[in-house]
Structure 1
């Protein structure tokens, strides 16, 4: 599945495109446009904002989990660096919906 802009150009919702079926799904997801998507894992999407705060979002349930911020000593050195490309990838070890107290998050960042 690919996340795509909606047909109507909504700034609050995105559509899904099924690559295997070659068509757009009939429903839309509430996914923020003011944050950069930096990963997906176990059905969750990972977004980063301009303050380097990573948020996990389950687009089907709407549940969001804010992660601890990137250590300040790391991002102070990159003030001139574009924060939208600072965090490269986010991966989950398990689905937080099924294992809420037993999952790990790996954040790959350029520091």
Structure 2
């Protein structure tokens, strides 16, 4: 997917305890700063905002200290975030983007 294609098709990114690097493209860095969250291992309750961001991505607690459980522990919060981001898209832009549909 081209860089332009990415920004036209992707409305949000949800990571769970991910290791990734900052996109080199300035527009992508801005996009990640506004539209990406990484739910990470933490002793704090689910969705607690943590020190960051890291790689232009907001960090919040997954509500577990076990890496293997971050996805299952944060699944409801992940889909709430994706649904909220999708709802904020202008109606004309929704035709090329798919709403979140349950678990993958």
Q: Bin the TM-score by the shorter chain.
A: under 0.3
Larger gyration radius, structure 1 or structure 2: 1
What TM-score do the two structures reach when normalised by structure 1?
0.26
User: Which structure is higher in RCO with an 8 Å CA cutoff and minimum separation 6?
Assistant: 2
Higher strand proportion (structure 1 or 2): 1
What TM-score do the two structures reach when normalised by structure 2?
0.27
